[in-house]
Structures are given as C-alpha cells and as structure tokens.
Amino acid sequence: MKYRRSKINGGSYFLTLVTHDRRPLFNNSHNVTMLRDAFRQVRETHPFTIDAVVILPDHLHCMLTFPAGDAKYPQWIRMIKSAFSRRLPPGSPPRAPSRAAKGEREVWQRRYWEHLIRDDEDYARHVEYIHYNPVKHGLAESPKDWPWSSFHDYVGKGVYDVNWGAGEVMTFDEDIGAE
C-alpha cells in the first residue's frame, strides 16, 4: 500500500515525530540541542516557519508553515530526521539487524503523523495541544514548567498568560493530535 500525504503549497501542518520503540532520546538537553540544530540546518536551505513546538522524551509535536509554492515538506522532515540521526554518537542507538545491512540506525519511527491545518480554529486547537502535551503526559504540572516548548515564546508575545493550562485538565477532540 502506498502511503499518501496531503501536500498543499504554502500550507500549515501539525506534525508528530516519534522515536523508534519510543526510546527517550530527548531526555537530555544535549540531544534536544542536536535536534534544534537539525531543524536550523534544514531551514537554512529550505525556509519554513516553526509556529509551535514541544519536544518530549520520546516524541515531538510541531506546527510548521511552509512558504507559498512549497509542498515538499516530507523531504524537509526526512532531512531533519537524518541530520539529527547523523549527530548521534556511533552505536547510539544500536543498529537493528533489519536495517544494519543498509547502514541505517533505528532512531525514528519510519512514518510520522501529519495533519493539514484547515482554518484558524483548527490551527489554534493544535497549538494548544502542542503546548499542553507535557501536562497530558504527566511530565509537568503546567506548560510553563516544561523547558522544551514554544509555550514560553507565546507567553512572551502575550498570547498566553504564564499560568495557562495550570491546574486544569484540558481535553481535545479525538482528531487533534496523534501519538
């Protein structure tokens, strides 16, 4: 079966990228910095906007907007995943027998979740989902407590109060988010 992705020039996409076997590769600031560097490297030659992002130990969610005329985001995501994987020290994570013959490392799940944003409300709900995700997973009491999130940028811009999402249980429609 051929997997088909929605490709709209200049679209905004909610994306979920998951590590292979949910390994907690992003449980330290060094690996998070390497992931940020991978995003930065790809953006230098293929500009896009990171509207929102949260990096959790075994996955990340992001909202990316691509320029008009650009519908090649699957290539840019592959490049980001590859750039991060190349930065990992040899042997971490170990190569699986099925991929070792090809010289591949099992760093990421092969596929990722993508959702084309339909309108402003869809966009806002997905950004909220991104920022609330550390609370949802029990990693933080409040979005402000999670260091690897664009939530802090949104507070600085006045979009959110610093205590947004604290002490409340937020629910989202089942079509928002994927993990």
Taking the C-alpha atoms of residue 65 and residue 52, their distance in angstroms, rounded to an integer, is 10
Higher pLDDT, 3 or 140: 140
What CATH number did the domain enclosing 22 receive? 3.30.70.1290
Give the C-alpha separation, 151 to 128, whole Å: 9
- pTM for the whole thing? 0.87
175 in a structural domain: no
Cα angle 88, 90, 93 (rounded to 5 degrees) comes to 70
Q: What is the pLDDT of residues 77-133, one digit of tens each?
A: 999 999 999 999 876 665 555 544 455 578 999 888 889 999 999 999 999 999 999
Q: Does a structural domain hold residue 65?
A: yes
Q: Above 70 in pLDDT, residue 6?
A: no
Nearest-5° Cα angle at 10, 7 to 13: 60
Within a domain: 104 = yes
- Residue 83 belongs to a domain: yes
Number of domains in the chain: 1
Q: How many Cβ atoms from other residues are within 10 Å of residue 68's Cβ?
A: 7
Domain of 80 in residue numbering reads as: 12-117
pLDDT at residue 25 is higher than 60 = yes
Categorize the per-residue pLDDT at 9 as very low, low, confident or very high, splitting at 50, 70 and 90: low
**Phi and psi (nearest 5°) for 11?**
-80, 165
Cβ 57 vs Cβ 24: under 8 Å: yes
